[in-house]
Each structure stands twice: as structure tokens, then as C-alpha cells.
């Protein structure tokens, strides 16, 4: 009993329970808000209302200028940093980069992370009840595009009283949302941070996504997407989809270094019949299985489609320079050398278009053997560049606040 | 400490113009041009440490290998294209200068003058490739793979019909400082050329 009290006293002192890392945002609690509709989607359909689940870290300053929006990627959600309880084993998905003293420094920024519309972590999506039928939406949930997310995120900004984000930040599909923000609401963000992203998917990217979707829809338990109503779950299909995705997130080199041809079980000894399992097989299966237990297959299909549909310059005569000439924010772009899903070339195209449009941009090509996943992982150079850039963002905010006081 | 060659470039770049700085290093020149002459533009750099310094200064910098060319930049998309002390590190310096004059209306190039008396002295009397404060590398392990002299560069300009708007020799030592104006190829440590087509 006494011991518990001591722990509480310590936790009060440090602002977070003992045992959590000092540079963690600590224990965080998701919030949720239901926005009244009608909310018109890019596909033409209308949602009567929708709910977004989100988390915030750090404090919003008096002039509400220090907001940073985190846009998540394919399988992400609102839990980007910190822990949900003291016994939580793993922090949020971008905890390496969000927290006190980290590149997105919660001592200086008010960070907002949400689960996108169509998600399966509490925001309105295929697992929600369709008010018209009283049953889960399932495959009937409207297809979404990045701009739908951006528009709903803008409503979240309104709710929080944030007229202009200090920065909108995202990796991969999140980077696409950040870029879309810079065109849809040019005045509502000062900086746009786009990591390991692209202005549109390549045919190869789409091919991988389609194979993943086929794995899900061809699972007999998929039931045309009505598996919730029929009380089944295409777990195997989703696991295979995740395995395919996972291969594309890693590099040949990265997989080779991590697993090589190491065996988990079995033998090649002559005269011994024992089935061989490579370490990489078991690793991929574990990734697939753990994912399929926590993610909704229809959401996976919806998210991969949104990726496929994204084309930044489609409505600007397919001219990225014309598109970016509408942007008013400054840009930081980062790519990773071994990323073949969103290769450095894709980021260079963004940098070139921004330069032609005379938009301020900084671009770094970070050496990493970790493939596309590198954007989530620790990497000294990535951290340094990111931190230096965000430091400028914070300094700029302080400068403009001072300038306003003088005026 | 700002290098003398950077002071001269500062004077040649028009205020409020659009500048591309190839091999921009730590971004000091661009930062100065931005704050003192309201110049906008980008640096291009390949060294991660220098890129980090640029970001810390708030200079726009794009990671790119100049040896892969400037194909990603449109014709005349900048008023001035700069390149300080990087010409001698390039695989094909003449092609890069051609490209600079395509991308910019004008270009300003600085390079170490290999015809300077110290280099000549070193080669003549020690019989070995010059190693100095300015060029501190051994021949087998140096980023500087294409040395030239003032005269060599003049010939290159003539052969390619590049128009020389200004030329200037710079020297850090006071004695050479006076003599460089009369005998630039012998006393200039750094050559600065302002070119157009």
C-alpha cells in the first residue's frame, strides 16, 4: 500500500507514471467528437454525421498558432504517441518523433493525431452502423479520397479553434494528405512536412495494392464485405494482404540483414524428412496474424483504394507545378534510400515541382536500409533534419507572435 | 568570417533576384543574400552535414548530386546560378557550366586557381602535387578531380562562346592582394567569373 502511494507521489512529481520514458508524452486519452452533417464526399455521397477519434499532446498556446496535425498512413490511427495505461507495453506508432524534446516537440507544439474517416479505431468507418439500415456499413461504406480526410480534418481544426496549423505532417499516405492540405486550404498551414511520399502511385504500387485486396475479397469469410453481419472475419485474407504490404515496406537488404536464410525449424540434412521453415516466413506470418486480429478488412480495402486514387495534380491539368503554385506553405521533404515503395525519385519529383512553382522547399534523401518503414524508425540523420526544421517552425511562431505584440 | 570571394558575389547578385546555389555548403551565402538583398532561391548540396547546417540556418536546400546534371531545372528558371569552389570536384565541369547557363540567365563561378605561384612553386621544386591550406588533400584522396588555372578557364569560355561579364582574382595574403590585379594567373588564389551567353 505504501509502495503504491510512493509511486503516485512520484508520478505526480514527474507528470507521468513512473516507469515510462522521460521523453514520452506519458499517459494519453483518446477523445471523440461527432460532427453534424451533411458532409459531402468526393464521390458525391453524403454522410449525415460522422465521428472522429483523436488524441492531443502538448498545450495549445494562447493565439492557437502552435498546432501540428499528424496525418496517418495506411494502417495508422489516432494513437501516435504516449501510452494508454501504465501497463501499456508499446507506445503510439510515431512515438520516436513526437514527445518532449523530440523532433515534434510537445513542449512547444500542440500535436493533434486522429483516426481518419473510414478507419477502424473509433472514427466512422465500415465497422460503424449505417443509420439507414441499422447494420454495419461493411463494403457499402462510401469510397474515400485523401481530400475527404483533409476536409474532415479541417472540421476538427475548427472544433479545436485552430485557424492555421503551424505544420501539417505525414508520412506515406499521410504525406499525401499533407500535400492535399497545402492545396485545399493554402492559408491554413504554415508548413507542410511530407515524408516518404509521392504525388501519385505507380502502376507497381497499384498492382501490389490490388493483390492485397484480392487476398481479402477471395477469402470465403469475406462474404461480399458483410462479414460483420454474418459473424465471420476474413482473417486469413487480411493476413496475406498485410504480408504482401509488409514485404513492400522493407527492403531486400533489410530483410536479408534481419533474417538471411536462417531457419526457424526443420533441417536440410540428407535422409531426414523434416519440413523447413525460414525465419522470414514465420516473421511475415506473425506480422500478418497480429495485424488481422486488430484491423478491419473493409478499412484496409478502403485505405488502399484511397492510395490508388490519389493524384495530386489530376485537377490541375496533370501539372504538379500548376498544382503547387496554389500552395502558400513551406515544405520539408524526406525520402529514404532503400525505400522502393515510395522511392526517393518520387520525392525528387515533388521537390522539382515545388521549386518550379517557386515554393520554399528543403529536401533530404536519408541513407537507410529499412525501406519504406524507415519513416517510423529511429535514424540519426532523419531525426536531426526533422528536429532542425521543426525548431525553425517553432522559432518562426515565436517571431511572428513578437511582431504582433510590437504592432 | 566571410570569404572574400563571397563578398564579391554578394555585389554581383541583384537584389530581389532568384538564385540557385550549386554546392551551397552550409548555406552561409544564401542566408546572407536572403537577409541583405532579399534574394530567394535554393541551395543544392550532397553532403548530409552541410545540408543539416542549411536547415539549421533556415536555408532552402535540396539534396542532389550535380554530376547527375540539372535536368530537373527548367530553362532560365533562375536569374543567377552560383557555384562556389565546386567546379573542380565535378566529373564534367564544362557540361555543368553549360547547364548553369541554360538554367540561369547568368552564372557566377569560383574555383581555386591552380596556376597560383605557390602551386607552381610546389610542383616545380618538390616535384609533387601541391598540398596547401586551401587544397589540403593528397592527390589520391581528394574531392578535387579537375583542377584548372585562370588561363585554362579563359580558353574554355572562349571555346564555348560564354560571355565573361566580370572576372576577379582574390587572394588572402596582402602581397598577392596587390599583385593579383596585374598577374591574376600567378597571384590569384581564387578565380571568380561572372558569365552569360
How do residues B108-150 score in pLDDT, each as one tens digit? 999 988 888 888 888 888 888 887 766 788 888 888 888 888 8
Length of chain A: 407
* Active site amino acids of A: 172, 339, 372
Q: Does the pLDDT value for residue B175 go beyond 60?
A: yes
Mean pLDDT of B161-178: 82
Q: Which residue has the higher pLDDT, B176 or B114?
A: B114
Q: Compare all CA atoms of chain A with the CA of B74 and give the residue at the minimum distance.
A: A356
Q: Which residues contact B100 (CB under 8 A, 6 or more apart)?
A: B22, B70, B81, B83, B107, B109, B195
How far apart are the CA of B45 and the nearest CA of chain A, in angstroms?
10
* Cα A356 from Cα A353, distance rounded (Å): 5
Per-residue pLDDT, B176? 66
Average predicted confidence (pLDDT) for chain B: 89
Asked if B48's CB is within 8 angstroms of A355's CB, the reply is no
Residues of B in contact with A393 (CB under 8 A): none
Q: Does the pLDDT value for residue B64 go beyond 60?
A: yes
* Cα A71 from Cα A77, distance rounded (Å): 9
Residue B119 belongs to what H/E stretch? helix B117-126
Asked if A362's CB is within 8 angstroms of B54's CB, the reply is yes
Q: Compare all CA atoms of chain B with the CA of A349 and give the residue at the minimum distance.
A: B72
The three three-digit cell numbers of residue B86, written as one number = 565546386
Asked if A361's CB is within 8 angstroms of B55's CB, the reply is no
The radius of gyration of chain A's CA atoms, rounded to the nearest angstrom, is: 22
Q: Which residues contact B106 (CB under 8 A, 6 or more apart)?
A: B79, B80, B81, B165, B194, B195, B196
Q: Which of residues 69-88 of B touch A (CB under 8 A)?
A: 72-74, 77
Low-confidence ranges of chain A (pLDDT < 50): 1-15
Nearest to B72 among A348, A360, A385 (CB): A348
The answer to whether the beta carbons of residues A48 and A83 sit under 8 Å apart is no
Q: How do strand B40-45 and strand B18-22 relate by DSSP bridges?
A: parallel
**What confidence tens digit (pLDDT) does each residue in B66-86 have?**
888 899 999 999 999 999 988
* Cα A120 from Cα A222, distance rounded (Å): 16
Q: Which residues contact A371 (CB under 8 A, 6 or more apart)?
A: A248, A249, A250, A251, A254, A336, A338, A339, A340, A341
The three three-digit cell numbers of residue A400, written as one number = 511572428
The three three-digit cell numbers of residue A289, written as one number = 496474424
**What confidence tens digit (pLDDT) does each residue in B29-42 have?**
999 999 999 999 99
pTM metric for this prediction = 0.92
The three three-digit cell numbers of residue A144, written as one number = 474515400
Per-residue pLDDT, A7? 35
Q: Which residues contact B185 (CB under 8 A, 6 or more apart)?
A: B113, B115, B116, B149, B150, B151
Sign of CA dihedral A154, A159, A160, A161: positive
Per-residue pLDDT, A137? 97
Residues of B in contact with A351 (CB under 8 A): 62
Amino acid at each position: 500500500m505504501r509502495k503504491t502511494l510512493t509511486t503516485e507521489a512520484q508520478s505526480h512529481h514527474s507528470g507521468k507514471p513512473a516507469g515510462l520514458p522521460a521523453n514520452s508524452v506519458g499517459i494519453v486519452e483518446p477523445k471523440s467528437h461527432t460532427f453534424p452533417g451533411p458532409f459531402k464526399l468526393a464521390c458525391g455521397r453524403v454522410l449525415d454525421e460522422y465521428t472522429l477519434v483523436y488524441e492531443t499532446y502538448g498545450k495549445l498556446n494562447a493565439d492557437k498558432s502552435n498546432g501540428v496535425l499528424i496525418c496517418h498512413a495506411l494502417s495508422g490511427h489516432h494513437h501516435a504517441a504516449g501510452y494508454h495505461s501504465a501497463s501499456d507495453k508499446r507506445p503510439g506508432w510515431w512515438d520516436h518523433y513526437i514527445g518532449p524534446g523530440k523532433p515534434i516537440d510537445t513542449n512547444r507544439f500542440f500535436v493533434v493525431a486522429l483516426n481518419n474517416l473510414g478507419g477502424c479505431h473509433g472514427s466512422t468507418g465500415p465497422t460503424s452502423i449505417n443509420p439507414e439500415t441499422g447494420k454495419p456499413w461493411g463494403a457499402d461504406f462510401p469510397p474515400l479520397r485523401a481530400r475527404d480526410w483533409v476536409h474532415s480534418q479541417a472540421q476538427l481544426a475548427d472544433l479545436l479553434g485552430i485557424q492555421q496549423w503551424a505544420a501539417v505532417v505525414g508520412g506515406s499516405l499521410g504525406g499525401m494528405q499533407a500535400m492535399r492540405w497545402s492545396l485545399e486550404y493554402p492559408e491554413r498551414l504554415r508548413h507542410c512536412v511530407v515524408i516518404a511520399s509521392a504525388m501519385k502511385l505507380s502502376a507497381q504500387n497499384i498492382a501490389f495494392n490490388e493483390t492485397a485486396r484480392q487476398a481479402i475479397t477471395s477469402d470465403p469469410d469475406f462474404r461480399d464485405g458483410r462479414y460483420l453481419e454474418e459473424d465471420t472475419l476474413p482473417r486469413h485474407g487480411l493476413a496475406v494482404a498485410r504480408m504482401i504490404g509488409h514485404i513492400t515496406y522493407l527492403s531486400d537488404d533489410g530483410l536479408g540483414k534481419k533474417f538471411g536464410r536462417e531457419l526457424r525449424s526443420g533441417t536440410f540434412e540428407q535422409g531426414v524428412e523434416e519440413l523447413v521453415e525460414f525465419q522470414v516466413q514465420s516473421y511475415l506470418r506473425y506480422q500478418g496474424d497480429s495485424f488481422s486480429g486488430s484491423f478491419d478488412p473493409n478499412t484496409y480495402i478502403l485505405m488502399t483504394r484511397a492510395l490508388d486514387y490519389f493524384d495530386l495534380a489530376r485537377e490541375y491539368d496533370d501539372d504538379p507545378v500548376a498544382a503547387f503554385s496554389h500552395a502558400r506553405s513551406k515544405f520539408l521533404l524526406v525520402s529514404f534510400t532503400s525505400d522502393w515503395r515510395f522511392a526517393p525519385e518520387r520525392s525528387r519529383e515533388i521537390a522539382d515541382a515545388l521549386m518550379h512553382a517557386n515554393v520554399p522547399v528543403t529536401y533530404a534523401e536519408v541513407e537507410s536500409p529499412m525501406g519504406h518503414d524507415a519513416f517510423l524508425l529511429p535514424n540519426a540523420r532523419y531525426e536531426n533534419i526533422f528536429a532542425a526544421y521543426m525548431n525553425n517552425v517553432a522559432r518562426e511562431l515565436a517571431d511572428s507572435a513578437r511582431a504582433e505584440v510590437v504592432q | 568570417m566571410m570569404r572574400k570571394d563571397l563578398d564579391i558575389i554578394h555585389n554581383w547578385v541583384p537584389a530581389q533576384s532568384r538564385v540557385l546555389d550549386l554546392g551551397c555548403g552550409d548555406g552561409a551565402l544564401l542566408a546572407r543574400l536572403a537577409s541583405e538583398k532579399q534574394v530567394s532561391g535554393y541551395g543544392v548540396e550532397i553532403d548530409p552535414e552541410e545540408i543539416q547546417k542549411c536547415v539549421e540556418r533556415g536555408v532552402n536546400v535540396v539534396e542532389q548530386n550535380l554530376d547527375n546534371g540539372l535536368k530537373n531545372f527548367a530553362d532560365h528558371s533562375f536569374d543567377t546560378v552560383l557555384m562556389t569552389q565546386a567546379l573542380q570536384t565535378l566529373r564534367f565541369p564544362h557540361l555543368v557550366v553549360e547547364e548553369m547557363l541554360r538554367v540561369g540567365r547568368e552564372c557566377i563561378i569560383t574555383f581555386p586557381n591552380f596556376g597560383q605561384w605557390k602551386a607552381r612553386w610546389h610542383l616545380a621544386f618538390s616535384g609533387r602535387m601541391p598540398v596547401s591550406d586551401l587544397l589540403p588533400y593528397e592527390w589520391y584522396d581528394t574531392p578535387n578531380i579537375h583542377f584548372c588555372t585562370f588561363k585554362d578557364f579563359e580558353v574554355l569560355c572562349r571555346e564555348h562562346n560564354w560571355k565573361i561579364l566580370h572576372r576577379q582574382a582574390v587572394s588572402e595574403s596582402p602581397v598577392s592582394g596587390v599583385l593579383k590585379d596585374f598577374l591574376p594567373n600567378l597571384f590569384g588564389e581564387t578565380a571568380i567569373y561572372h558569365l552569360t551567353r
